[in-house]
Amino acid sequence: MVVRSSSPEETRRLAGRLGRLVVACDVVLLGGDLGAGKTTFTQGLARALGVKEPVTSPTFTLMRSYHGTGGLQLLHADVYRLEYLQEIMDLGLPELLEEGAAAVVEWGDRAAPALLADYLEIRIEFGEEDDERILHVRPVGARWDARKEQLAQALAVQDSTWIAQAQP
Ligand code: ADP
Ligand code: MG
């Protein structure tokens, strides 16, 4: 599934629509180069989950924790170097997910992470215009495969341009 965003706020709104599908134990993996909009996306997702604190880049802390509505703990990590994934694992990401947290991981590497079996992958590419971004949304694993239709619905909004949908 591919969708175009033409502003930071539009990316936050799209993230919010996807964020409403996020439940305990979910992982959202954000791919894309520096400045693509991964943190911006996370802000919209967190807002939709009821996080009131401002969401900033976790670059120097590796992982931050926020509280959403309904007691959901939202973790936000930035793995812009591959070795940080191991550090985040060591910080207890798998255990926190097991206990019911949800996680958004900014992923600087192109290779898919071997340590995670189920995740929603959002790859953000730069478009032709300054504020244009192309979001590639891909469910990976059974947890997210089961939500394909809801994902498609969440992305089919009037104010964003629906570019293409992968054949089932
Ligand atoms: P990353 O976390 O991927 O490094 P950030 O979200 O921190 O990226 O930064 C993205 C930058 O690009 C922000 O300054 C944001 O305002 C800008 N921007 C411009 N257009 C968009 C868009 N359509 N979506 C997301 N960010 C955008
Ligand atoms: Mg970032």
pLDDT category at 59 given cuts 50, 70, 90 is: low
CATH of residue 112's domain is 3.40.50.300
pLDDT category at 108 given cuts 50, 70, 90 is: confident
- The answer, yes or no, to whether residue 101 has pLDDT greater than 60, is yes
Q: For residues 50 and 19, give the distance between their C-alpha atoms in angstroms, rounded to a whole number.
A: 10
Mutate which of 10, 33, 40 for ligand 1 pocket (most atoms within 8 A of beta carbon): 40
The number of folded domains in the chain is 1
Tokens 């936000």, residue located: 76
For the CA of 33, the nearest atom of ligand 1: 3
- Cβ atoms 26, 101 nearer than 8 A: no
Ligand nearest to C-alpha 12 = 1
- The answer, yes or no, to whether residue 13 has pLDDT greater than 90, is yes
Q: For residues 95 and 34, give the distance between their C-alpha atoms in angstroms, rounded to a whole number.
A: 28
- The answer, yes or no, to whether residue 60 has pLDDT greater than 90, is no
**Region 33-53: what's the mean pLDDT?**
96
- The answer, yes or no, to whether residue 140 has pLDDT greater than 60, is yes
pLDDT category at 137 given cuts 50, 70, 90 is: very high
Cβ–ligand 1 contact at 36 (below 6 Å): yes
Cβ–ligand 1 contact at 42 (below 6 Å): no
pLDDT recorded at residue 162: 54
Q: Which domain covers residue 63, as residue numbers?
A: 2-165
Mean pLDDT of the chain: 88
| pTM score, whole prediction | 0.92
- The answer, yes or no, to whether residue 66 has pLDDT greater than 90, is yes
pLDDT recorded at residue 157: 64
Q: Choose among 32, 38, 33: nearest CA to 77.
A: 38
pLDDT recorded at residue 166: 47
